[in-house]
Structure 1
Amino acid sequence: MNPSIFEQGLPQTPANYVALSPLTFIERSAAIYPDYPAVVHGDIRRDWATTWARCRRLASALLARGLQTGDTVAAMLPNVPAMFEAHFGVPLAGCVLNTLNIRLDAEAIAYMLEHGEARAVLVDPEFSEVIEAAVAKLARKPLIIDVDDAEYAGGPRRIGELEYEALLAEGDPEHPYRLPDDEWQAISLNYTSGTTGKPKGVVYHHRGAYLNAVSNLLEWAMPHHPVYLWTLPMFHCNGWCFPWTIAAHAGVNVCLRRVEAGRVMDLIADEGVTHFSGAPIILNGLVNLPDEQKRDFDHPVKVTTAGAPPPASVIAGVEALGIEVTHVYGLTEVYGPVTVCAWHEAWNALPPEERARLKARQGVRYHMLEALCVVDPENLEPVPKDGTTVGEILMRGNNVMKGYLKNEDATREALAGGWYHTGDLAVWHADGYLEIKDRAKDIIISGGENISTIEVEDAIYAHPAVEEAAVVARPDEKWGETPCAFVKLKAGCEDVGEAEIIAHCRERLAHFKAPKTVIFTELPKTSTGKIQKFVLREKARNR
C-alpha cells in the first residue's frame, strides 16, 4: 500500500520534532522569569536564574568527574534545595536520578545502590550513618558527596570525598542545555517495595515525566507562580513529578526538611503557600493542632492527598481551616498520582458529610493518562458501574513506567495485554468515578509509604518463639494505616509479649515498618491451610 499524501515529503526533522523532557521547563522559566523566586529554605532565597545556573554546574561537575549518559546518581536527601536541583542537574548530564527513601535501613539502601549501579550518592548529614553502613556492603564504592544543610540541627558530618557546594564550584554555570536524544531515555529510578522479594526498580522516562508534570498543572488548575510547600517527600515518585511541575510555572519551592504540623501552618501563613501535597497524616496533623498554633490566612490554599482515604471528619476539619482538599490516586509505577476526584460545582451544595464521602473517592483519570478501567481479573472484562462490583484497576498511557529494572518477568507480568495491572481492587460508580476497596497484594500504606506485609511477616517469623504470623493493615487516624500482626506462639513461649515482638522487628526493619499492634491468637485458615487475611483485616478494624 502506497503511503498517503500526508506521509510524502513531510519528514520529521529537528525543526518540527523534539523529545519531550521536563528539562525544558526550567530552561524556559529561567529565561523568562530569571529574577522570580524559585527556592526558599530557611535563610536561603534563590531566583530562577541562580537555580538554573546551579543545576547546570551540577551537570557539568558530574560529567567532569567521569559520569556518563545512563549512569545512576542516588540521593539520600530530605526536601532541601539540593534535592530539587538534582531533579534537573542529574538528567541534564544524561544521568538517571535515584531518590532513596530516607526512612529505610542500610541493608535496603545497599541493595538499591548495588542493583541500580549508583556511581555517585548525594547524602545529607542526618543520613550519613546509614549511607556509610550501606556503602560498606558494596564491592564497588560510589562517589559520595556530602550535602550540608544549615537547617539541620546536628551540624555537618562528612563521610564523602567532597561537599556539594565544592562540587558545584567545579562545574560550569553555562553548561550547554541539551535535551535527551530520545524521550524514552530514563530520567529517574524509584524503588517500590512490592509484596514479595527484593524491591523493584521502577524506571521513568523523560516523556512520562514531562506529561505527568503537565497533568499536575491541569488537574489543579494551577496558576502561574504558585507557592508550593514541600510536605510531600521528593524521594517519593520524584515528589509526584512536582519538582518539574513547579518549574513549568516558575513557582516557588518552599523546602521543608521535616514535616511538623505547626511549622506547616506557619509557612502557609508567612510564605503565602498556595499548594502542598501529602498523605492524610499531614491533614490530620493540621486538624489536631492546638488552637494557639493555628494561623489565619486570607489567600486560597489547596492540598492534594493520596494513600488511604482520609476520614470524612479530617477532610471537613481541613476545609474548615480554609484549605481545599483534592483526593488523588496513583502508584510508583505511574509517576505518582494519575487519577483525581474531579470536583463538580453542584456538589458544593451537599451536606459536609456527603461532600467528604465524594472527596474520598479516587476519581477519574488524569488528562495525560490515556485509559483507566476496572475489570474482572479473571477475564479482564469491565465490571458494571454499580458501585458494588469489585474489580482490578488497569491503566494505560504515556505516564506508565518503562518497566522494572533488570526484571523482565515482572515487567511482562505488570504490563500484560497492553495494560498496567495495578493489583488494586476497586468499584466503579455510575458516574465513572472509581473507589478503592482493597489492596490485592496486601500492601499497607502508612503515612504515604508502602509496607510489604511479607517483609514484616518474615521479620516476625525470625523470632524463635513465633510459630505462625500474618500481618494486615489496621486503620489509623494519624497514619492512615499501620501494620497489625497476628501471632501464634510456640508452646511454652506464652511469656513473650507485644513489646518484645515489636522490638524484635525494629531491630530488623525500618521502624515505620514494624507492627504497631500485635494480637496473639490462632490464625484462621482455609481448608487448604491458607491464612484467611480478610478475616484478620476485619478483626484489626474492630480492634
Structure 2
Amino acid sequence: MATGSTLRRRLAAVHVHARAARAVNRGNRRLPGRRRQPDAGRVRPVRVLLLSRRQRHGCQVRRRAAVQAVRARLFAARSQVRHRGRSRPLRGEAARVHRRRRAHRRVERRLAHELHRRERKILGSGGASALPRGLGPVAERDGVSAKRFFETTLASERIDELSASGAWPNRLLDERIDRWTAERAGEPVITDRFGTMTWGELGADIDAVSKGLLEIGVRPGTVVQLQLPNWRHFVVTAVACDRIGAVVNPVAPIFRHNELTVMSELGRPMVVVTADSYRGFKLAEMHAELRERCEWVTELVVVPSPETLQSDADGDESWLPEGAITWEDLVEEGRFSSYDRAAVDLCRPGPNDVCEMMFTSGTTGLPKGVMHTHNILSVAVDAFLDTVCEGLDPHPGAGAPQAYVTHMASTLGHQTGYLYGMRLPLYTGGHVVMQDVWDPVEFVGLIGQHRIQLSMGATPFLADVLNVDDLAGYDLSTWQRFLCAGAAIPRPVLERALELLPDCVVMPGWGMTETGLLTVGRPSDPLERRLTDGRAVDDNEVRVIDESGQAVTDAEGDLQCRGSALFAGYMAGREFTEQSWTEGWFDTGDRAVMNSDGYISIAGRTKDLVIRGGENVPVKEVEDVLLRHPGVGVAAIVAKPHERLGEIGCAFVQPVGEAPTLAELTEFLDDQQVTRQFWPEELVIVDEFPMTPSGKIQKYRLRERFDEERRCI
C-alpha cells in the first residue's frame, strides 16, 4: 500500500481547458448572421484523480479524445451557420472572409517555418560562416527580428540618428503605389513600346505578380534578378518585389555571360526575369545556359518582345527555353493564388531592410554588389525633387503636387534609370515615358506628344538632341529640365543648349551607384557653375583632401563623401565595405577640385576605370581576356577622351611576334563573350611600357600621350 507522500506525488489534475470552449464561442460570434447560443459549445472542466499509472494513462487517452471532440465542434462552428434551425455552408461574404482568414494563417505558418528553418541552419552550423559570402544571421533591430540575412554596415546609431533628424523618411514605395492607384486609377503612369499603362492597370499587375512570386517560392530576402529593357514588366516586377520584401537585382541588358556569371555567384538570385531577345541578342537562351551552372536559380521567367508576340500568332512558344515560364504564366499564378492582400502584407519589409542590389565596377574592375535600403532610395528621390525639380510645376489638372512627366532612355538596370526613371515617377504619382533604344529624333517627338517636362542622361544624349535636324520645328515648350550626369558638360555643348533649348535648364550632376545623385547644380546657377559637377545635396557632404588627409579647396585631391544617401554596404561583407571608409568618410576613388562655394569639378580617377557614355568599363577584366590572345604579351587599357561619349577605351599592346590588329582583337573578345560596349576602340602597339620600380604599368604616362595630342591640335 502506497504511503501518503507517494499518493500525493501520484495525484494529478488534468483539465480539458476552457479556453477551447471560449474559442468556440468567439468563432460563433465572428460569423455573420449567427446568434450566440449561451450554452452552445461549453465544456466544463473535469478533474480526475490519478492513483495509478494505468489510471493516469486512461485519463490521458480520454483527455485527448475530449480535445479532439472540442476541435471538431470548433471546426463545425466555423464552417457552418445555423439559419432557421438548419445548417448551411458558408456563402457570400462569410465564405470569402473565411477563405481569407485561412490563407492568412497559412502564410503565417509558412513564413514562420521558413525563418525558423534558416535560423536553425545558421545556429547549427556555427553561425554566419556557413552562409554565402555577404550573408549574416538574423539581426535584432528595434526589438524586431529582421527578415534579411545581408551583412550591412547599418549600425543602430546611424539608423536612430538619421531617423530622428528626419533625414530618413521611414516610408515605403508600396504605400505610395496604393495611394496613387486609388486616386489616379485612370491616369497614365507608363508609356513604353507596349503602349500606355494606367495606374489602375499597374496596381492590378503588381498585385498579381507579387502573389505569383510568392507562389513560385520567393520570400522576404530572396534575390530576384531583372535583366529587361525599359519595359513596364521591369517596373511591375520591381515593385512587386518591394511589396513582399524581396531584393531586386537590376542588370543592364548589355551584360553577357562573363559579367552575369560573376554577378550571379555573388548575388545568388533565386528567380531571373528577362526578355526573350533584345536588339538581336537572345537573352533568354543565355540565361538558360547560365542556369545550368547556377544551381541556385530555380525559376526563369521570360517576357516576349512585341516582335515575338506578333510572330507567335499561333502561340506555340517556340521562343521559350526549356524549363522556363512565360510572363503570363507568372501573372496567372498570382491571379489564381490562394494568397490575398492581407497575406501578402505579412511579407512587407521595414524601411531599413535591404531592397536593392546593384552591381558596379570598383577599383579592381570587378563587380561589387552595392546594397540599398528603402530609406536610402527614398532619400535619393527626395534630393532629386528638392534640387532638379525646384520651381517646376506639374501640368494643370495633374491631380498631384509633383506629378511630373518624366522621360528615361538610360537603362533601368543602371542606378540612374532605376532611381529617377522608375522610383521617382512612382513616388510622385507621375508619368514616365521610356525608350528601350535611344533615338534622339523619336525623343523630341515624344516631348510634344506626352508633354515631357524632365529627362536625365549622359552628355552624349544631350549632344544627340542638339544635332537633330530641324530641331526648332518640334514642340519642346514643356521640356524644362535636363540633368546631365556621367561626365562634365563641355562648354560648347552647354552654350549650344542655351541657344537651341531656351525653355530647358541643363544642369550638371555627379553620383555613383553607392550614393545616387550626390552633387548637382541648381536651376538658378549661372553658366560657370553649370560647367562644374554641382554641390552636395541636403543632409550630405563632400570634401577634397590632400595627401596628408586634410580638407583643401581650389586644389586637386581625393574626393570623399558622407551622409544619408550613402549605401548600406557591399555584398562581399562588412569587412570589405569598411576598406572604402576613412574616419566616417567614404572614399569615392575620384579626384576633384572644390571651390569656396562647395562646387566640385571631377578632375580624374584614382580607380582603374573607363567611363564610356556614362557606363563603367571593367578595365582589368577586359585586359585579362586580351592576355589570352596568342599575339598579346602585355596589355593595358586606358581612357581616351571622346567628343561624344566622353571616353573610350584605348588598348596599349606589347605584341608577341606579329602585332595583332584591332579587328582581330575585337573578334577575339566577341568569341570570349565580352560585352561589346567594353571593347577597346583604338589600338596602340608599343615596344615597352613605362613601369614603376615595383613592376606596375604607369597608366598615367600612357594617358599623357592623349594630352600631348590635344595640345598639338
- TM bucket (normalised to shorter chain) is 0.7 to 0.9
Alignment partner, residue 210 of structure 1: 378
Match of 1:239 among 396, 399, 417: 417
**Cα distance in 1 for residues equivalent to 2:622 and 2:634:** 13
**Cα distance in 2 for residues equivalent to 1:152 and 1:270:** 27
Q: Would the aligned equivalents of 1:525 and 1:531 in 2 still touch at CA under 8 Å? A: yes
Alignment partner, residue 225 of structure 1: 403
Alpha carbons of 1:249 and 1:406: their partners in 2 closer, same or farther (altered >3 Å)? same
**Cα distance in 2 for residues equivalent to 1:183 and 1:330:** 23
**Cα distance in 1 for residues equivalent to 2:225 and 2:418:** 17
Secondary structure of the residue that 1:478 maps to in structure 2?
Answer: coil
CA shift, 1:38, in A, is: 0.7
Alignment partner, residue 258 of structure 2: 107
**TM-score (structure 1 length as normaliser):** 0.88
**Cα distance in 1 for residues equivalent to 2:270 and 2:207:** 19
Q: How does 1:404-483 map to 2 (within 5 A)?
A: 404-483=570-649
Match of 2:236 among 74, 80, 85: 85
Amino acid at match of 1:227: V
The more displaced of 116-125 and 141-150 is 141-150
**Cα distance in 2 for residues equivalent to 1:203 and 1:182:** 15
**Cα distance in 2 for residues equivalent to 1:310 and 1:480:** 9
**Cα distance in 2 for residues equivalent to 1:319 and 1:152:** 42
**Cα distance in 2 for residues equivalent to 1:99 and 1:161:** 19
**Cα distance in 2 for residues equivalent to 1:424 and 1:154:** 48
Alpha carbons of 1:262 and 1:541: their partners in 2 closer, same or farther (altered >3 Å)? farther
**Cα distance in 2 for residues equivalent to 1:519 and 1:306:** 30
Alignment partner, residue 364 of structure 1: 535
Alpha carbons of 1:75 and 1:155: their partners in 2 closer, same or farther (altered >3 Å)? farther
CA shift, 1:86, in A, is: 2.2
CA shift, 1:171, in A, is: 1.8
Alpha carbons of 1:181 and 1:265: their partners in 2 closer, same or farther (altered >3 Å)? closer
Match of 2:551 among 342, 362, 382: 382
CA shift, 1:316, in A, is: 2.7
Q: Would the aligned equivalents of 1:471 and 1:483 in 2 still touch at CA under 8 Å? A: yes
Secondary structure of the residue that 1:454 maps to in structure 2?
Answer: helix
Q: How does 1:48-127 map to 2 (within 5 A)?
A: 48-126=199-277, 127=283
Deviations along 1:125-165, one digit per CA (max 9) or x if unpaired, are 11223322322322333311111232679967322632213
Q: What percentage of residue pairs aligned between the two structures are identical? A: 26
CA shift, 1:343, in A, is: 4.1
CA shift, 1:373, in A, is: 1.4
Q: Cα RMSD (Å) of the superposition?
A: 2.5
Alignment partner, residue 132 of structure 1: 288
Q: Would the aligned equivalents of 2:545 and 2:558 in 1 still touch at CA under 8 Å? A: yes
**Cα distance in 1 for residues equivalent to 2:368 and 2:667:** 27
Secondary structure of the residue that 1:241 maps to in structure 2?
Answer: helix
The more displaced of 228-237 and 531-540 is 531-540
Match of 2:427 among 230, 236, 248: 248
**Cα distance in 1 for residues equivalent to 2:311 and 2:297:** 25
Alignment partner, residue 142 of structure 1: 298
Secondary structure of the residue that 1:203 maps to in structure 2?
Answer: strand
Q: Would the aligned equivalents of 2:364 and 2:608 in 1 still touch at CA under 8 Å? A: no
- The total of aligned residue pairs comes to 511
**Cα distance in 2 for residues equivalent to 1:530 and 1:459:** 18
| Greater gyration radius | 2
CA shift, 1:197, in A, is: 6.2
Q: Would the aligned equivalents of 1:19 and 1:180 in 2 still touch at CA under 8 Å? A: no
Secondary structure of the residue that 2:306 maps to in structure 1?
Answer: coil
**Cα distance in 2 for residues equivalent to 1:294 and 1:131:** 44
Deviations along 1:456-491, one digit per CA (max 9) or x if unpaired, are 22122222222222211111122211101111213x
Match of 2:325 among 140, 151, 162: 162
Amino acid at match of 1:136: E
Amino acid at match of 1:331: M
**Cα distance in 2 for residues equivalent to 1:447 and 1:275:** 20
In structure 1, runs of 5+ residues without a counterpart are 1-15, 348-354
Q: Would the aligned equivalents of 1:99 and 1:238 in 2 still touch at CA under 8 Å? A: no
**Cα distance in 2 for residues equivalent to 1:542 and 1:329:** 27
Alpha carbons of 1:307 and 1:534: their partners in 2 closer, same or farther (altered >3 Å)? same
In structure 2, runs of 5+ residues without a counterpart are 1-165, 278-282, 313-318, 394-401
Deviations along 1:257-310, one digit per CA (max 9) or x if unpaired, are 111122212212222111111111211221222338962332233211211223
**Cα distance in 1 for residues equivalent to 2:685 and 2:509:** 36
Q: Would the aligned equivalents of 1:474 and 1:484 in 2 still touch at CA under 8 Å? A: yes
Alpha carbons of 1:247 and 1:151: their partners in 2 closer, same or farther (altered >3 Å)? farther
Alignment partner, residue 497 of structure 1: 661
Alignment partner, residue 309 of structure 1: 488
**Cα distance in 2 for residues equivalent to 1:444 and 1:104:** 16
Secondary structure of the residue that 2:514 maps to in structure 1?
Answer: helix
Alpha carbons of 1:21 and 1:308: their partners in 2 closer, same or farther (altered >3 Å)? same
Alpha carbons of 1:458 and 1:253: their partners in 2 closer, same or farther (altered >3 Å)? same
Alpha carbons of 1:208 and 1:249: their partners in 2 closer, same or farther (altered >3 Å)? same
CA shift, 1:255, in A, is: 2.1
Alpha carbons of 1:293 and 1:109: their partners in 2 closer, same or farther (altered >3 Å)? farther
Deviations along 1:223-257, one digit per CA (max 9) or x if unpaired, are 42211112121110162512221112211111211
Alpha carbons of 1:18 and 1:301: their partners in 2 closer, same or farther (altered >3 Å)? closer
- More helix, by proportion: 2
CA shift, 1:170, in A, is: 2.5
**TM-score (structure 2 length as normaliser):** 0.68
Alignment partner, residue 3 of structure 1: none
Alignment partner, residue 183 of structure 1: 351
The more displaced of 193-202 and 417-426 is 193-202
CA shift, 1:375, in A, is: 1.6
Secondary structure of the residue that 1:333 maps to in structure 2?
Answer: coil
**Cα distance in 2 for residues equivalent to 1:97 and 1:265:** 32
Deviations along 1:160-205, one digit per CA (max 9) or x if unpaired, are 6322133123225962474845322011110112232641111111
